[in-house]
Amino acid sequence: MSFGSTTDENAWDRFAVEGGACFLQSWGWSQFQEAVGREVYRVRLSSSEDDTKSETMAQFLLIEHGLPLGFKYLYVPRGPVVSGGEDGCSMERLEAAIGAAHNAAARSGAVFARIDWPFSADGGPVSDTQLRKMGFVKTGHLQPADTVILDLKLDEGDILAGMKQKTRYNVRMSEKKGVTVSEAEYDNAHMLKNDIDLFWRLLAETAERDKFNTHDRAYYAKMIDVLNPKRHKGGELAVRLVFASHEGQAIAGGLFAEYGDTVTYLHGASLSAKRSVMAPYKLHWEVIKDAKRRGFKKYDFWGVAPIGADESHAWHGVTRFKLGFGGYRESYLGAWDLPRRRLTYMAYNMARRLRGR
């Protein structure tokens, strides 16, 4: 087997989609990461050094992130994507991919490689015990470790029937109140800027109200600019900006990633005013119906509190909202670090714990 980089966008996305990869392993996401100033390595494990005859065995994005004092680490978001094996993931290829990530960290001078696994926490190809034996150290989540997935292969009536009664009532209430749903104006640069400003204002109010941190405006603006369906036409990944309005005023909005067979709810926001018209319910219901009509098979709500978490959990309210739409839970192995410079890594973890106090 041979490791190297690739410049073939179509082959990359084809392998990723066939392997059921998350949008975080898409070519488009790597372009967005580059657009916000991060170094990205597109790593491919092939059966031969001859590209004309080789088969892709595994691939993953490595994204460089800065640390204090000029240090850095390399991050694999929801990867690697690995083929082969009885469960769709060959352990030989997976171990080779891990080795490649570690070697890349060594060549770049990174303190560690962080891998946010795409595998289930229960019954996946590797377990916590196996990862520790390989030298991995469990770390905090960069991506949500728990989520809720809605099966879009169901009929609309069955999806409605699977909702909790209160959610179904709120969906119908939003329709009676005249809430409408529309998409951003991607074709008009001036209008798109206004739409991005609008979403940012909604998000800033929501973050202040619900006490969570956001990226800065430029991050969301760059994501929409690079990945909106007009700009990224022909690519597998698209990010859509959608609003719910009442009496001509946008009062809720969301960013939705489309990749492979899945639509993922990335970021959402809403005004405190007019909460009685239930705009977020209408927003999701319309996006769900549109995704189903266009042939997507899954709707990922992207982040809920873990099973058993009590009402003090920061995500309690949003979890209750998302679970109201029905669906099933998925839990991932989460993020694990593979240290290369042990002493520096220990100092990094110590400093992080001190900052947390």
Q: For 21-43, what is each residue's pLDDT tens digit?
A: 999 999 999 999 999 999 999 99
* List of long-range contacts for 34-39, beta carbons under 8 Å, 24+ apart: 35/222, 35/225, 35/226, 36/218, 36/219, 36/222, 38/63, 38/64, 38/65, 39/63, 39/64
Instruction: State yes or no: pLDDT of 52 exceeds 70.
Output: no
Long-range contacts of 121-126 (CB under 8 A, 24+ apart): 121/145, 121/331, 121/332, 121/333, 121/334, 122/331, 124/333, 125/85, 125/87, 125/89, 125/91, 125/94, 126/91, 126/94, 126/333
* pLDDT (0 to 100) of residue 234: 62
Percentage with pLDDT > 90 across the chain: 81
CATH number 3.40.50.1360 given to 147-331: no
> Residue 87's pLDDT is what?
66
147-331: same fold as 2-143+333-355? Answer: yes
Between CA 114 and CA 112 the distance in angstroms is: 6
* pLDDT of the residue at 4: 79
**pLDDT at site 356:** 61
C-alpha distances out from residue 195 to 40, 288, 333, Å = 29, 21, 36
Cα 23 to Cα 1: distance, rounded to the nearest angstrom: 26
What phi, psi does 103 have (nearest 5°)?
A: -65, -40
Fold of 2-143+333-355: Aminopeptidase (3.40.630)
- Give me 1's structure tokens: 């087997």
Residue 74 parent element (H or E): strand 72-77
User: Which alpha helices (DSSP H) does the chain contain, by range?
Assistant: 9-18, 27-35, 91-108, 128-133, 156-162, 165-176, 189-210, 217-227, 279-293, 316-323, 342-355
pLDDT at 350: 86
114-148: per-residue pLDDT in tens? 999 999 998 889 999 999 999 999 998 889 999 99
Look at residue 200 in the predicted model and tell me its pLDDT: 97
Q: Which of 162-171, 261-270, 312-321, 344-353 has the lowest mean pLDDT?
A: 344-353
pLDDT > 90? residue 191: yes
pLDDT for 316 beyond 70: yes
pLDDT at 124: 84
Tell me the per-residue pLDDT of 248-295, one tens digit each, with 9 for 90 and over. Answer: 999 999 999 999 999 999 999 999 889 999 999 999 999 999 999 999
Instruction: Indicate if the pLDDT at residue 54 is higher than 80.
Output: no
214-246 confidence digits (pLDDT tens): 999 999 999 999 999 987 666 699 999 999 999
Mean confidence (pLDDT) of the chain = 93
pLDDT for position 210: 84
- For the cut 90, the answer to whether the pLDDT of residue 1 exceeds it is no
Give the start-to-end residue ranges of the domains of the chain: 2-143+333-355, 147-331
Pairing of strands 72-77, 112-116: parallel
pLDDT category at 181 given cuts 50, 70, 90 is: very high
Please name the amino acid found at residue 313: H
Residue 357: pLDDT band (50, 70, 90) is very low
